């Protein structure tokens, strides 16, 4: 999951004040984004099953950092303005949190597959709502607490902790979701004093430095075919972020955010068609409950705003 997932708190580019709210275009761009990021997850699953996960994430971050730096260089003030922050430790911690989350998520793909991983990860908007109180001091009303509780019933249905021998590996995507929720909330917190472009810059550069520091120790030679897959992985990352930026320039986040859940559909379809994964009944039921609860929390947030 990773930067591939799309909470409003982690939107990489703030829409200009003069934007038009072209909802049909925004929805189309969001759907295209979820398709591209689903392909990225599938390629990550393939490469991480053949090579060390840390090396795969490191190479992804090299390209991601290049994309972020190129984007910052084209904005007003250039790299100096993008890097300027009064809270560098917070920005570094955010970057480390996302890099770690990506490693956990991709490792989970190799153990559990795309279907089950994405089904559990879909609870991250509920985690954002639950943690927004202690981290940001925001008020969470009883309706959203009810939706959060219902959503986690869906998670329990997927994990089935009371049936037979519980597989602890099934908790991996839940850990990933918690890490991504914390990253999203820290991004929102950082946004109180820093521009979104600044947070995006620090996310890419910090992650690249961190992953390079540890990833070089896990370097493995790749086949020519897998070098091609790696190039495609990097391309999907850059194109996905570009589409996401365009999406939030075209329409308000509250209008297009619910369509981010289609990534669960697309990634699951790829998992079943390409990797031969099976959609178990409990996973389908649990995912439906989680998505319904998540959509309700998004609707409540829109009503409040």
Domain count, the chain: 1
Residue 305: is its pLDDT beyond 70?
A: no
Confidence label for 133 from pLDDT (cuts 50, 70 and 90): confident
As given in the structure block, the two tokens for residue 51 are 């090579």
Give the pLDDT of residue 16.
43
The larger pLDDT score, comparing residue 18 to residue 127, is at 127
State the Cα–Cα distance between residues 134 and 132, nearest whole angstrom.
6
Q: Average per-residue pLDDT in the chain?
A: 84
Give the pLDDT of residue 168.
73
Residue 15: is its pLDDT beyond 90?
A: no
Residue 97: is its pLDDT beyond 60?
A: yes
Highest mean pLDDT range out of 43-47, 111-115, 118-122, 188-192? 43-47
Q: Is 19 left (phi over 0), alpha (psi -120 to 50) or beta?
A: beta
**Which letter, b or e, does each residue of 271-293 get, where b requires 16 or more Cβ atoms within 10 Å of its Cβ?**
beeeeebeeeebbeebbebbbeb
Give the pLDDT of residue 13.
43
HSE-CB at 189 with a 13 A cutoff on CA atoms is 22
| Residue 285, domain extent | 2-11+19-304
Confidence label for 287 from pLDDT (cuts 50, 70 and 90): confident
Residue 107: is its pLDDT beyond 70?
A: yes
6 backbone dihedrals φ, ψ, rounded to 5° = -130, 55
């Amino acid at each position: 999951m990773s930067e591939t997932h799309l909470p409003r708190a982690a939107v990489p580019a703030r829409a200009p004040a003069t934007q038009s709210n072209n909802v049909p275009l925004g929805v189309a761009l969001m759907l295209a984004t979820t398709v591209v990021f689903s392909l990225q997850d599938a390629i990550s699953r393939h490469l991480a099953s053949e090579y060390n996960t840390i090396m795969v994430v490191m190479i992804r971050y090299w390209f991601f950092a290049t994309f972020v730096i190129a984007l910052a260089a084209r904005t007003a003030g250039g790299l100096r303005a993008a890097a300027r922050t009064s809270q560098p430790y917070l920005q570094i911690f955010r970057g480390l949190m996302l890099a770690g989350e990506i490693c956990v998520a991709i490792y989970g793909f190799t153990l559990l597959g795309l279907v089950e991983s994405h089904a559990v990860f879909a609870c991250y908007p509920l985690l954002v709502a639950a943690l927004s109180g202690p981290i940001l001091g925001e008020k969470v009303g009883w309706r959203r607490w009810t939706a959060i509780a219902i959503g986690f019933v869906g998670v329990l249905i997927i994990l089935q902790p009371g049936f037979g021998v519980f597989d602890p590996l099934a908790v991996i995507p839940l850990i990933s979701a918690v890490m991504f929720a914390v990253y999203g909330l820290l991004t929102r917190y950082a946004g109180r004093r820093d521009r979104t472009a600044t947070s995006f810059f620090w996310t890419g550069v910090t992650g690249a430095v961190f992953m390079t520091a540890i990833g070089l120790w896990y370097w493995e030679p790749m086949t020519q075919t897998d070098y091609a897959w790696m190039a495609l992985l990097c391309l999907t990352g850059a194109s996905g972020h570009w589409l996401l930026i365009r999406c939030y320039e075209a329409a308000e986040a509250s209008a297009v955010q619910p369509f981010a859940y289609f990534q669960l559909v697309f990634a699951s379809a790829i998992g079943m068609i390409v990797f031969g994964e099976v959609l178990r009944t409990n996973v389908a039921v649990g995912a439906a409950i989680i998505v319904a609860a998540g959509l309700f929390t998004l609707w409540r947030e829109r009503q409040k705003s």
